[in-house]
Amino acid sequence: MIPLITGQVVAFWIFAPLSIAGALGMVIARKPVHSAISLAGMMVALGCLYASLDAPFLFVAQIIVYTGAIMMLFLFTMMIVGVDTTDSLIETLRGQRVAAAIFVFAFAAFIIVVAGNGIVTGAGGLETANAGGNVEGIAKIIFGTYVFAFELTAALLMVAALAAIVLAHGESLRKRETQAERARRKTLEFAETGKDPGPLPGPGVYARHNSIEYPALLPDGSIAEKSVSPTLAIRGVAVVENDGLRAAHRAAITEFVEVQDENTGSDEAPKVAEELADPGSVERTAIETTDGDPDTPKEQ
Amino acid sequence: MSPNAYVVLSAILFSIGLLGFLIRRNVLIAFMSVELMLNSANLAMVAFSYANGTLLGQVGAFFVMVVAACEVVIGLAIIMIIFKTRRSASVDDQNQLKH
């Protein structure tokens, strides 16, 4: 007998390997973000499997609720908790990983054999149940037989939302500095340590590059270190090519001196050009943070 | 396609989720493994619904989704407050919750 190839079979053999690959990717990936993306892909594949099982409502709900809402929540938390945290390879309990792997393989063998031995035999199909529409059929059950359970889930969602608000709320540890207090503190600092009370210089955005990691230049062509956020500098993002940054400055000075030479008849241009030429033309400077901890945002 | 294949797939996914939950030390990945297990249970329920020709399994999967959403909200809030106080996202560091 030639086996009948239906759309369901095709969908199963496409999306079942995809979902297994996504699940394995989630377990194997070192970085949490890669795990989350694998899991999102696995959830989409699972949604497509629902669609192949005559469950169009759950297919849409799966994609909206799981891939849309839950995975986004995971990613938000990941951004707060730290994207670049990787697992430690140190075992707190000795042999725990091996024992866990052996247990899981035994469990998997058991459950797959049990499930594979045909507890589910009838391939009934949902044509009669879905005759009046899948969403309508589900609505009849939810708002009919299970209306009390449905109301309870409303209470559950409400409690969960309240609990999240209460848990995530944090009291601020110190009082917020008012404008007058900040002015007083800055003036005092200027009197005691000579620290500039003015705002920090802005970054060199739009000077040569459209990026805040580029520092501003001081009038003599050197780099204003305070113009780059300490966080960027600590992460090693703010590495700039001095020569490239100074090129415009050098060209301007050279032209200025040439014009001056023409007008006054002096011969300063070669000397200035020599002074301006960098000893190492491809010198790169990593901006070091000199003050402040990286967590405090730069005051502008 | 026999619904049995879907149930086997669901068992495989559940086992992978269990493996991830047991061997990963990052609390977020452990939590995502729990989500994976919930999803595989949903798949089994939808397959049973298909096999029996009623929509009750799909309604069950729907309720599981609602409860999973609540669980994620609370779980992530707890992960965040633990991270705020302990500055760590590893389950090994959460050993001082008892007095």
Average of per-residue pLDDT across A168-181: 84
In a domain, B42, yes or no: yes
Q: Is the pLDDT score of A283 beyond 70?
A: no
**Residue B93 domain-assigned (yes or no):** no
> Could you tell me which residue, A123 or A151, shows the higher pLDDT?
A151
CB within 8 Å: B46 and A58: yes
Q: Which of A34, A58, A79, A146 to mutate to test the interface with B (most CBs of B within 10 A)?
A: A58
**B29 within a domain of the structure (yes/no):** yes
Q: How far apart are CA A225 and CA A171, in angstroms?
A: 34
A162 touches chain B (CB under 8 A): no
pLDDT, tens digit (0-9, with 9 covering 90-100), for A235-264: 666 656 656 666 667 777 788 888 888 888
Q: Which residues contact B1 (CB under 8 A, 6 or more apart)?
A: A6, A8, A9, A12, A52, A123
For an interface test with B, the pick among A57, A107, A112 (most B C-beta atoms closer than 10 Å) comes out as A112
Q: What is the pTM of this model?
A: 0.71
Q: Contacts of residue A108 in chain B, CB cutoff 8 Å?
A: 11-12, 15
Beta bridge partners of residue B26, listed in sequence order: B90
First to last CA, chain A: 78
The angle formed by the CA atoms of residues A52, A111 and A37, to the nearest 5 degrees, is 55
Residue B33 forms part of a structural domain: yes
Residue B98 belongs to a domain: no
pLDDT value, residue B88 = 74
DSSP state of B91: G
Alpha helices in chain B (DSSP H): 3-23, 27-52, 56-86
Q: What pLDDT is attached to residue A289?
A: 47
What is the residue range of B32's domain? 3-86
CATH label of the domain that carries residue B69? 1.10.287.3510
Q: What's the rounded Cα separation, in Å, for the pair A259 and A271?
A: 14
Give me the long-range contacts of A145-150 (CB less than 8 A, separation at least 24). Answer: A146/B59, A146/B63, A149/B63
Distance, CA of B89 to CA of B79 (rounded, Å):
8
Q: Looking at the 3D structure of chain B, how many domains does it have?
A: 1
Q: What is the pLDDT of residues A9-59, one digit of tens each?
A: 899 999 999 999 999 999 999 888 999 999 999 999 999 999 998 899 999
